[in-house]
């Protein structure tokens, strides 16, 4: 069997500290929660000519479940190809993941140097014992990039593919393109492994596509917050109204069937915002943060926090963290320039603050 790599060894690399590394990590960890987004098109950044009997390209949407191991440090498939002749027994899949990295204490990602020896050891450890026959992981090069790969097989006759090819190509420090090819046919498998020579990687485009899209952020002055109850889909639920000059933003809060508890949970924060409303150098903010949960225009999960902070160091820390934290409220539904239906107001707070609305694409 011809092998697609020309042998070479790598001396080492620094741990991933680039923005792209963190962007990938962000994407990887999102696989642990129910998030689904449109898949970027990597077909120009990763040019690959599959064997003639294969078809495919851009993979489907991101997975929406945590998988068997939500901390596997691997993202979803970005490119996928299938055998036309045997759709269930011929696949070539490309995805990104972290190599020479692990989840340490406190679920913090730890990075190790990326060397040929380390990658060979890591790949051997990943696949050893999973197949009756397996070759040792070997270092080489693909399109000028260092790479490690191995092949494995099992006797024909059972369910699923019999021949396996795994390849990791570090693109930027600990960020690697991971390729898996499987087949039930020895000749087709040989063509698949030989086709790896056709891979051309545009590192600049790859890193650009790995960056998360910048969120939509709208900031406005917040004059007043009203809290109470409304009729929502035939039931009584907690409701909030944010008022500024010429604009109303209102929402029904997810209350777990206990609207009184939801209203009560917000009162201390709103009271503090009101009490600090005329003091300088104070953070007074209602933060509305929406993250995508599906492909539709309304497929977002939205959380709300109230901040009233006087400590300069704490304010700087909140700003560095983009004001994320444990959510105080979650929304069921929201409206712009519309009063809540049958709104029963139980509290009104002049806050003289900021309304920050952040929405992930």
Looking at the fold, whether 343 and 203 belong to one and the same domain comes out as no
Whether residues 321 and 180 fall in one domain: no
Do residue 312 and residue 186 come from a single domain? no
Domain with residue 54: its CATH number is: 3.40.1000.10
- The pTM score is 0.60
* DSSP string across 117-136: HHHHHHHHHHHTTSSSEEPP
Q: In terms of residue numbers, what domain contains 238?
A: 216-359
pLDDT tens digit sequence for 40-65: 889 999 999 999 999 988 875 444 33
Q: How far, in Å, CA of 340 to CA of 181, rounded?
A: 55
In a domain, residue 47? The reply is yes
pLDDT digit string, tens, across residues 187-202: 999 999 999 999 999 9
The Cα 220–Cα 286 span in angstroms is: 10
On whether residue 9 sits in a domain, the answer given is no
Where does a domain end: 175, 210, 245?
210
Domain final residue pick, 194, 210, 226: 210
For residue 13, tell me if it sits in a domain. no
Q: Which residue would you say has higher pLDDT here, 107 or 235?
A: 235
Q: Cβ(67)–Cβ(31) under 8 Å? A: yes
CB 140 within 8 A of CB 84: no
pLDDT-based confidence at 296, cuts 50/70/90?
low
Domain identity same for 169 and 202? yes
**pLDDT at site 123:** 96
For residue 7, being part of any structural domain is answered with no
Residue 263 lies in a domain: yes
Q: Per the structure, how many domains does the chain have?
A: 2
Nearest to 108 by CA among 163, 43, 34, 29: 29
Whether residues 205 and 256 share a domain: the answer is: no
Q: Are residues 120 and 193 in the same domain?
A: yes
Decide if 91 is inside a domain: yes
How buried is 182 (Cβ within 10 angstroms: 0-12 exposed, 13-18 middle, 19+ buried)?
buried
Asked whether residue 130 is domain-assigned, the answer is yes
On whether residue 306 sits in a domain, the answer given is yes
Shared domain check, 230 and 168:
no
Please identify, among 185, 210, 235, the residue that sits at the C-terminal boundary of a domain: 210
Of 98, 39, 93, nearest to 63 (Cα)? 39
Q: Is 255 exposed, middle or buried (0-12, 13-18, 19+ CB in 10 A)?
A: buried
Residues 141 and 271: their CA atoms lie apart, in Å, by: 62
DSSP, res 261: H
């Amino acid at each position: 069997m011809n092998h697609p790599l020309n042998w070479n060894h790598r001396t080492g690399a620094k741990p991933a500290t680039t923005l792209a590394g963190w962007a990938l990590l962000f994407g990887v960890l999102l696989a642990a929660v129910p998030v689904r987004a449109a898949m970027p098109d990597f077909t120009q950044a990763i040019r690959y000519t599959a064997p003639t009997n294969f078809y495919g390209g851009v993979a489907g949407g991101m997975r929406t479940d945590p998988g068997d191991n939500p901390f596997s440090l691997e993202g979803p498939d970005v490119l996928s190809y299938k055998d036309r002749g045997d759709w269930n027994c011929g696949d070539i899949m490309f995805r990104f993941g972290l190599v020479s990295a692990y989840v340490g204490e406190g679920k913090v990602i730890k990075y190790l140097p990326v060397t040929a020896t380390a990658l060979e050891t890591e790949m051997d450890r990943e696949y050893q014992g999973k197949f009756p026959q397996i070759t040792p992981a070997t270092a080489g090069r693909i399109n000028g990039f260092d790479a490690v790969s191995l092949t494995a097989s099992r006797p024909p006759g059972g369910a699923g593919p019999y021949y396996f090819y795994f390849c990791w190509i570090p693109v930027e420090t600990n960020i690697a393109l991971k390729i898996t090819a499987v087949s039930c046919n020895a000749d087709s498998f040989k063509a698949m492994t030989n086709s790896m020579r056709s891979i051309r990687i545009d590192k600049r485009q790859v890193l650009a596509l790995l960056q998360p899209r910048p969120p939509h952020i709208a900031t406005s002055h917040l004059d007043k917050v009203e809290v109470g109850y409304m009729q929502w889909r035939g039931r009584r639920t907690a409701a909030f109204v944010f008022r500024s000059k010429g604009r109303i933003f209102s929402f029904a809060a997810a209350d777990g069937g206990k609207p009184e508890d939801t209203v009560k949970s917000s009162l201390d924060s709103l009271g503090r915002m009101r009490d600090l409303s005329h003091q300088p150098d104070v953070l007074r903010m209602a933060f509305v943060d929406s993250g995508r949960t599906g492909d539709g225009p309304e497929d977002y999960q939205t959380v709300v926090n109230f901040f009233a902070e006087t400590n300069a160091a704490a304010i700087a820390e909140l700003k560095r963290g983009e004001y994320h934290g444990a959510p105080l409220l979650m929304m069921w539904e929201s409206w712009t320039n519309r009063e809540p239906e049958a709104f029963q107001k139980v509290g009104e707070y002049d806050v003289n603050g900021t309304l920050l609305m952040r929405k992930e694409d």
